[in-house]
A = this chain, B = another copy of it.
Amino acid sequence: LDTAYEKLAQERQLQLTKPTGSLGRLEDIAIQMAGITRNVCPVIKHKAVVVMAADHGITAEGVSAYPSDVTAQMVQNFLVGGAAINALARQANAEVAIVDIGVATDIEHPDLISRKVRRGTANMAHGPAMSREEALQAITIGIDVLDTLAAKGLDLVATGEMGIGNTTPASAITSVLLNIPVARVTGRGTGLNDQQLTNKVQIIERAIAHNQPDASDPLDVLAKVGGLEIAGLVGIILGAAARRIPVVIDGFISGAAALVAYTLCPTVREYLFAGHVSVESGHRFILEKIGLEPLLDLHLRLGEGTGAVLTMHIIEGALHTHNEMATFGEAGVSNKE
Interface status of A118 (Cβ within 8 A of chain B): no
- By size class, the interface of chain A is 35 or more
A73 lies within 8 A of B191 (CB): no
Interface status of A38 (Cβ within 8 A of chain B): no
Query: Which of chain B's residues have a CB closer than 8 A to the CB of A22?
Result: 190, 300-302
Interface status of A299 (Cβ within 8 A of chain B): yes
Q: Mark A80-106, 1 if CB is under 8 A from B, else 0.
A: 101110111011000000000000000
Among residues 9 to 57 in chain A, which have CB atoms less than 8 Å away from a CB atom of chain B? Answer: 16-26
Of all chain B residues, the one with the shortest Cβ separation from A29 is B298
A73 lies within 8 A of B302 (CB): no
Option from B17, B65, B295, B302 in Cβ contact (under 8 Å) with A77? B17
Query: Which of chain B's residues have a CB closer than 8 A to the CB of A26?
Result: 298, 300
Q: Which of A137-145, A210-218, A257-265, A321-329 interfaces with chain B?
A: A321-329
Known: A25-B299, A73-B332, A337-B65. Contact between A326 and B83, CB under 8 A?
A: yes
Interface status of A331 (Cβ within 8 A of chain B): yes
Among residues 189 to 239 in chain A, which have CB atoms less than 8 Å away from a CB atom of chain B? Answer: 190-191
Question: A323 CB to closest chain B CB, in angstroms?
Answer: 8
Known: A84-B325, A310-B314, A320-B87. Contact between A302 and B23, CB under 8 A?
A: yes
Query: Which of chain B's residues have a CB closer than 8 A to the CB of A330?
Result: 82
Known: A91-B320, A320-B88. Contact between A336 and B191, CB under 8 A?
A: yes
A334 lies within 8 A of B69 (CB): yes
A87 lies within 8 A of B310 (CB): no
Query: Which of chain B's residues have a CB closer than 8 A to the CB of A67?
Result: 334, 337
Q: Mark A274-288, 1 if CB is under 8 A from B, else 0.
A: 000001000000000
Query: Which of chain B's residues have a CB closer than 8 A to the CB of A66?
Result: 19, 334-337
